[in-house]
Amino acid sequence: MITKRIIPCLDVKDGRVVKGVNFKSLGDVASPIELAEYYSRSGADELVFYDITASFEGRKLFTDVLCETAKRVFIPLTVGGGINSVEDFDRVLKCGADKVSVNSGAIRNPSLVSEAAKLYGDQCVVLSADVKRVDGVFRVFSKGGRENTGMEAIEWIKRCVGNGAGEVVLNSIDTDGVKNGFDLEMLDKVCNAVNVPVIASGGAGGIEDFITLFKTLPKVDAGLAASIFHFGEVKIETLKQEMKNNNIPVRI
């Protein structure tokens, strides 16, 4: 049986790991390479590297950090941030990325998903969607959560999956940084709309939030978080043991 994945997310800026609260006020944590090695040893099932500056400052991903990480860490790596073309896919895949996540780049150029899926396979293309309730409707935001695109989120996600996105990272802006649990309502809607793996992001404050996530929504494949792992509030070993105790399939 496939296990539920626990995925630490490393937001990288200037070669360092940062974590924003509601995407603003960033604090420095550690070297991404060292942190990645630490997480891999701790039992992380996968890692996500986001270049958080790329989408609005046009900065190129720190491919040297990525290359060095892929020399030392042998679990799946997803890279996102500033992916606007198939050339960007190529650049990070050559450095050891296994999957590439698109967000603003796909909003600007919706054919990016299908082009990349054709070239590298559906399994390589991850749609990352930043979603927020606006007047009771789920809307897709771009540019690191700062700009309302006006698009309805479920339709957008379905369209991208139809075009070949093999996985969806759903980041709820409403719950991100609040540490009061994942956005179960939003996740449930997405899980019922698509049949590709859905990764929950935004809102984890403690172990119980992951247990609630996987118990309430068995269709969710993975839970992603950043600061609670970076600051040691949640230890991955403890989290996975607790998942096991709750009969959630997990790799230990």
Partner 1 sequence: MVAIINYGVGNLYSLKSSFAAIGEHAVVSADEDEIRSADRIILPGVGAFSDALEKLKASGLDGVLVSEAEKGKPVMGICLGMQLLFDKSLEYGEHEGLGLIRGEVVPFEGRINKELKIPHIGWNALEITQPDCPLFKYIKNADFVYFVHSYFADGCDESVTAYSEYDIPVTASVQSGNVFGCQFHPEKSGEVGLKILKAFCEI
Taking CB under 8 A as the criterion, the residue among 2, 14, 136, 247 binding partner 1 is 2
DSSP state of 122: G
Determine, following the binding rule CB under 8 A, whether residue 136 of this chain makes contact with partner 1: no
Give the Cα separation of 156 and 140 in Å (integer).
Answer: 8
Nearer to partner 1, 20 or 96 (CB): 96
130 is catalytic: yes
Determine, following the binding rule CB under 8 A, whether residue 166 of this chain makes contact with partner 1: yes
Stretch of residues binding partner 1 (CB under 8 A), selected from 15-23, 88-96, 107-115, 170-178? 88-96
Determine, following the binding rule CB under 8 A, whether residue 251 of this chain makes contact with partner 1: yes
| Residue 1 identity (one-letter amino acid) | M
Cα-Cα-Cα-Cα torsion 44, 235, 187, 99, nearest 10 degrees, comes to -20
The least distance separating partner 1 from the CB of residue 121, rounded to whole angstroms, comes to 5
Look-up of token digits 């998942």: 243
Neighbour count for residue 148 (Cβ, 10 Å): 12
Q: Compute φ and ψ for 132, nearest 5 degrees.
A: -145, 145
Residue 190 region, left (φ>0) first, then alpha (ψ -120 to 50), else beta? Answer: alpha
Taking CB under 8 A as the criterion, the residue among 96, 105, 144, 205 binding partner 1 is 96
Taking CB under 8 A as the criterion, the residue among 72, 137, 150, 216 binding partner 1 is 72
- Interface residues toward partner 1, by CB under 8 A: 1-3, 5, 40, 45, 67, 70-72, 74-76, 93-98, 120-123, 166-167, 195-197, 221-222, 251
